[in-house]
Amino acid sequence: MQGKTALVTGAAGGIGEAVVRALASRGVRVAAVDLNADRLREAAKAAVEDGLDVTAFPADVTLSTEVDEVVAEVESALGPIDYLVNAAGVLRMGPARSLSDEEWAVTFAVNTTGVFFMSRAVVNRMVARESGALVTVASNAAGTARAEMSAYAASKAAATMFTKCLGLEIAKYGIRANLVAPGSTDTPMLTSMWEDDSHARVSIEGNPETFRVGIPLGKLAQPQDVADAVVFLLSDEASHITMHDLTVDGGAALGV
């Protein structure tokens, strides 16, 4: 992976930031993209101070013109994009019948439409070069019903099938498209759901009232666990893997 160029969305924190660092530590030039410009620049600055080749490119993945512009900017500054990681995501909780129009729309704008816009912009350039690989960070909720997570689960399910269909279409160009589906991961997105620290125990042990079976491995994932799976699927070690959905949830979805 040494000397390659990657674009990672959702790079200002959580799984996205872990992916940025995991790729950069392997000698990849990383374009870090996120809507939160201040936090993104802080994360990129910290990475550079650690000797990593990371550049911040603030952008809103829900705006197609902005996505096209930032992709062109990245390739102009860093060179052709070899790897794309769609890690930007938002979570809006609540009963399905009580979600507002805005909550539903924002969830799909980032989690699904953002994946479409960024994948389209980058993959069209990859096709011309007949080279590249991408990973979309989805969720085990895309295939396992979760109470009060209907918008999130539906948006991740849509992003999952989009990525697989895209992978089928671009396989003839030698371009691979895969997915990583995390479960409960120790990130700000997860802790935003908690009222206190006891919720970590509930996530691990399960909750019969909401039909959650818990995590068989007995621990939350760390962002690095997910980042390692992303890096594997991008790497040459996964050169014959495409349209695959790799679940990283400690067994929470029972292997389904």
Residues 142/156, Cβ–Cβ less than 8 Å: yes
User: Tokens in use for 139?
Assistant: 């969720």
Nearest residue to 115 via CA among 131, 132, 135, 133: 135
List Cα–Cα distances, 107 to 33, 93, 104, 168, in angstroms.
Answer: 18, 10, 5, 26
Residues 33/59, Cβ–Cβ less than 8 Å: yes
User: Tokens in use for 194?
Assistant: 């908690």
Cα distance from N-terminal residue to C-terminal residue, the chain: 31
Catalytic site includes residue 152: yes
Residues 183/215, Cβ–Cβ less than 8 Å: yes
Beta carbons within 8 Å of 97's beta carbon, 6+ residues apart: none
Q: Rg of the chain's alpha carbons, rounded to an integer?
A: 17
Q: Check 152, 155, 178, 252 and give the catalytic one.
A: 152
User: Which residues does the annotation mark as catalytic?
Assistant: 152
